[in-house]
Structure 1
Amino acid sequence: MNRRRSFIAPLLIAFTMVASAVSCGSTDDKAGAEPAASACSRSQGKVELTYWAFGLNAQKIVDGFNASHPDIHVTLKDVSANTVQQMTNALKAGTAPDLGMVAYSDLPGFRLSDGLKDISACPGIAETQAQLVPWTWSQVNVGGTGIYGMPQDTGPMALYYRKDVFDKYGLTVPTTWAEYEAVGKRLRAASPTTYLTNFTSGHAALLLSFMWQNGARPFQYGKDQVTIDLAGDKARQVTDYWQKLIDEKLVTTTVQPFTPAEFKGMNDGTLATMLGASWLTGVMLANAPGAAGKWAVAPLPQWDPAKPAGANYGGSGNVVFASSKHPAEAAEFAAWVATNEQPQKLLTSLGSVPPSLAALNLPGMDAKPPYFGGQPVWHVFRDSSKVVDTSFQWSPNMTVVVNSMSDAITNTLKGSNTLEAGLTSAQQKAVADLKTRGVDAKDGGQ
């Protein structure tokens, strides 16, 4: 099922890990042979490209490219609903577009199905790497071999906190996860109806982001093998931490993300903090208007303050499908979106932090939204993006991974298992699923 809610879709649609990671679609079946990376020469004459994407500014981005590239014309099709399924069906039917906008977490699944073109040899692509935030390049470099897309938008994370609530109870903004827990304890002692934040089955993908920040490697690519390890030392440190917050009742376990109940908590201050990506700014503005001026943004709490680490939640890239007859021109469009100031301005206006190093210094990054009391919040997200680890990869079957993790969290909240035990079971399910797809998969716990 697709978890996107109609009342927040316009704001979240460009940052699709939450929705796509649990979408109904899969890329299980082979979908055509991938052309060799060397076969990427420019076409003669004017080129027509088809592009399947979504988002409030998608058409504006396409219009900007068309206006500046008279020899290439891109036609957009909006695939906001069931994005992965639509693309998967088109690949199977041989009707895939030249380009598609996909979540970073979905990209390896399309790669597994041989649905993507390796664009590393396309004109100008190699030079693009130096223009991008390093971790975003690694998101399209699946398993370290080939380039299967260009970054478009990102969702670096931060700590959102209610200034008024912190002031009322004399709380100090936490800089470490230990301090964050201590804030939760003081808060609950002072106000039994106020929670540090919420944590439910809908936070599985967010839990992976916390693992990313801690240096966990739940998905690793070896030579012709994928290892899944959701319960390794670094991952277990994260799950043990959240298990403690659950056991101590510092977090509410009944308020699902992106629901009226969560928005109420944002509005009335019963949720004192939120741990979210840059795009959460827009969600708050649209759905918790009564809290205007009461929220502020701080860096994500750290495990080791001496080694600052960021995390990312969401984001997408533009891929070239293997069947494209014009891969060089399609790759040119994808690289233009990743690096050009015009599309990056449009994406920044929606809460994205640019993947382009140059675009990180756009004037829009200095904005001081009144909702956040005039704080230059984008500086926090920009700094977070600069310290996101470059080696984090996604499994080719993230739908199964996230659904299994969600089940594990549900069972934990019911008291039938711990998070550690549940995620150990989840990784076993994910490994078994990959094996049924013909992938040499390994359980990291064995």
Structure 2
Amino acid sequence: MKKTTKFMAFMVAGATVLSMAACGAPGGAAGASGINNDPKANDDAQCQNTIKKKGVEKVTLWAWYPAVEKVVDNFNEAHDDVQVCWTNVGNGSEAYKKFNTALKAKSGAPDVMQVEAEILPSYVSGAEKHLVDLSQFGASKEKSKYTEGSWRDVTLGGGDSVYAIPSDAGPFAMMYRKDIFDKYGVKVPTTWDEYEQAGKELKAKGFPGHIGNYAPNGTAMNVALFAQKNAKVYDYDVSKPEDVGIDLTSKEVTDVMSYWQRLVKEGIVTTDDCYSNDWYTKIVDGSYATVVNASWLIGYVKGVSGAQEGAVWQVADAPKWDSSTPMVNQGGSTLAVTDQAKHTEAAAKVAIGLWDSEANQEVAVKDSGNFPVMNSKLEADDFINYEEPFLNNQKVNDVLAPIAQGYKGYSFLPFQTYAYDEQTKAFTKIVRDGADVSSTMSDLQKTLDNYATQQGFTVKK
């Protein structure tokens, strides 16, 4: 196989905040090898936060977590040897776009950057590696502090290298309108078979909305639905940088897509695009009886205006296919050290330690709306017993924490944004146009196989 040696940065318009990412062709050892040591380089850096300890080394950070400034202030107050200089360069796609520009210019990138877990392979798979392997700075010792799945996600294959530190997760669960199920005398579903039956019952008993929605642009949400079926649609191990796995024609995948196509034809689910204003409005106005998504959606929904009077929301495990259905995650961010870090060791200290305090874990949960991945927080009595007012004082973390702890990790491609864009087109044809599932998924497989080959990868068979 001919290897491509130059770094290829591309930007693909996606359906989520993951619409900008870098992609490199395979080759060489994974992880940025350049270690820099210039503690004075950021002395004149401009910070959005106020640096109170003067004359102390600065480490620059790009991040868009809610309440991140409070997190930074807490870290800075606790450290006399390093101060975090934070800048909000925009959410997701905006940040990645600016990061890509800095990579191309070979200057202007931050020392530490928030990177979503599914985007990590895009920045460590190329001939030029842009994220530092933090194991050389002791990151491997942090493994026991984190959930199994979140740690595997930052090792990109489960090896010894560590390309980022997990920050938060998105346990895959089902929000549901208890008042709607009670009003129509329908049992809340615990399996996907029961989900279909409940949708039919709600419709037959006069519920004017739908039991739920299948969003073809759901990207990671739709991958989570496949993962529930134990389907590994995307696979990448950074220790084998030339190989990618793509499996979109398995029986498990076609079963999932056929299921949703059938529910659409039965008129019990809609196919609205997710994360739009209209979608959020339909969630709160009673158009959907359930929303199956990441736990972080709760924070967004409770902030949406126009909620239906008398709505009673609760959270339960996402419906399962059978007893083999695994715990699944959707989304989650990390902190990574870039190859442009001025003082790599200090940057690693920030990435490893920024969230690792009781104070900042509290900020993560109460102010940022992040779902924790540190075992100490997941097991804390105050966390497990927290009663969420929006959910009628349900102890929601009693449901969500076992999902986060049961998640085993997942893999994504070095060109995940491109894959998301193409899968959205295919899923739209299936659920909105009624296209044949097998042939449409076969066409999607060929499209991604060809793209991978063009980028210099070998598709594992």
Q: TM-score range by the shorter chain?
A: 0.7 to 0.9
Deviates more, 1:362-371 or 1:178-187: 362-371
| More helix, by proportion | 1
Aligned amino acid, residue 386 of structure 1: Q
Quote the residue 1:233 is aligned against. Answer: 251
- SS of the residue corresponding to residue 310 of structure 1 reads coil
Match of 1:143 in 2: 157
Matched, 1:164 2:164: no
Partner of 2:130: 115
Structure 1: which 5+ residue stretches go unaligned? 5-17
Q: CA RMSD in A?
A: 2.8
Aligned twin of 1:11: none
Q: Which residue of 2 aligns with 1:360?
A: 378
TM-superposed CA distance for 1:343, in Å, is 2.1
| Structure 2 counterpart of 1:27 | 23
Kindly provide the CA deviation profile for residues 247-283 of structure 1, in whole angstroms up to 9, marking residues without a partner as x: 2222012x32233432332233221100011111111
Paired position in structure 2 for 1:200: 215
Letter paired with 2:176: Y
Aligned equivalents of 1:439 and 1:190: distance in 2? Answer: 53
Q: Does the 8 Å CA contact 1:38/1:121 hold for their aligned counterparts?
A: no
Aligned residue type for 1:381: L
DSSP-derived class of the 1:239 partner: helix
> Does residue 276 of the first structure (1) align with residue 288 of the second (2)?
no
CA contact (8 A) 2:36 2:344 kept: yes
Aligned 8 A contact 2:59 2:347 in 1? yes
Cα distance 1:423–1:58, how it changes in 2: closer, same or farther (>3 A)? farther
Per-residue Cα deviation, 1:26-52 (whole angstroms, up to 9, x for no partner): 334899997776969997995321111
Q: Which residue of 1 aligns with 2:78?
A: 68
5+ residue gaps, structure 2, are 1-11, 41-54
Instruction: Return the offset for 1:414.
Output: 3.9
How do 1:362-377 residues align onto structure 2 when only pairs under 5 Å count? Answer: 362=380, 363-377=382-396
Q: With structure 1 as the length reference, what TM-score do the two structures score? A: 0.87
Question: Hey, what does 2:357 align to over in structure 1?
Answer: 340
User: Is 365-374 or 126-135 further displaced after alignment?
Assistant: 365-374
What CA distance in whole angstroms lies between the structure 2 residues aligned with 1:144 and 1:53? 25
User: SS state of the match for residue 248, structure 2?
Assistant: coil
Question: What is the CA-CA distance between 1:2 and the residue it aligns to?
Answer: 6.8
Matched residues, number: 424
> Which amino acid in 2 is paired with 1:136?
S
Equivalent residue number for residue 13 of structure 1: none
Would the alpha carbon gap of residues 38 and 94 (structure 1) be closer, same or farther in structure 2, given more than 3 Å must change? closer
Secondary structure of residue in 1 paired with 2:291:
strand
CA distance in 1, matches of 2:178, 2:78: 45
Residue aligning to 2:273: 256
Q: Which amino acid in the other structure matches residue 247 of structure 1?
A: K
CA displacement, residues 359-378 of structure 1 (integer Å, 9 cap, x when unaligned): 11342443212221111112
Residue of structure 2 aligned with 1:132, choices 133, 146, 149: 146
CA distance in 1, matches of 2:442, 2:350: 41
Q: Secondary structure at the match of 2:218?
A: helix
SS at match of 2:431: helix
Amino acid paired to 1:172: K
2:193 to 151, 171, 178: 178
2:90: which partner in 1? 80
Q: CA deviation at 1:338?
A: 4.6
Q: Deviations over 1:19-74 (max 9, x none)?
A: 11xx1443348999977769699979953211111122111111111111211121
Counterpart of 1:26, as a letter, is A
Deviation string, structure 1 residues 133-169 (Cα, Å, up to 9, x no partner): 0000011111334211000111111111111110111
Distance 1:175 1:335, change over 3 A: same
In the superposition, the TM-score normalised over structure 2's length comes to 0.84
Name the CA distance, whole Å, in 2 between partners of 1:418 and 1:79: 43
Q: Against the structure 1 CA distance between its residues 439 and 26, is the aligned structure 2 distance closer, same or farther, given a 3 Å change threshold?
A: same
Out of 317, 326, 329, the position equivalent to 2:343 is 326
Please say if 1:387 is aligned against 2:406: yes
Q: Match for 1:195: what amino acid?
A: H
How far does the alpha carbon of each residue in 1:357-403 deviate from its partner, in whole angstroms, 9 at most, with x for none? 0011342443212221111112211121122133x111111111111
CA contact (8 A) 2:117 2:332 kept: yes
Match runs of 1:2-17 below 5 Å = none
Deviation at 1:129, TM superposition (A): 0.3
Instruction: Check whether the contact 2:26–2:457 (CA below 8 A) recurs between aligned residues.
Output: no
Matched letter for residue 391 of structure 2: F
Query: What amino acid is the match of 1:48?
Result: K
Partner of 1:14: none
- Secondary structure (helix, strand or coil) at the match of 2:326 reads coil
Pairwise CA distance, 1:204: 3.1
Cα deviation, residue 438, structure 1:
2.2
How far is the alpha carbon of 1:207 from its aligned partner?
0.8
Q: Structure 1 stretch 126-135 or stretch 29-38: which is displaced more?
A: 29-38
User: Residue 162 of structure 2: SS of its match in structure 1?
Assistant: coil
CA distance in structure 2 between the aligned counterparts of 1:59 and 1:32, rounded to whole angstroms: 37
8 Å CA contact 1:151–1:338 kept in 2: the answer is: no
1:313 aligns with 2:309: no
Equivalent residues of 1:293, 1:370 under 8 A apart: no
State the identity as a percent: 29
Whether contact under 8 Å (1:41, 1:122) holds in the other structure is: no
* Residue in 1 that maps onto 2:44: none
- Label 1:327 to 1:365 Cα distance change in 2 as closer, same or farther (>3 A): farther
Q: The residue matched to 2:169 in structure 1 has which SS? A: strand
Question: 3-state DSSP class of the match of 1:173?
Answer: coil
* Alignment correspondent of 2:51: none
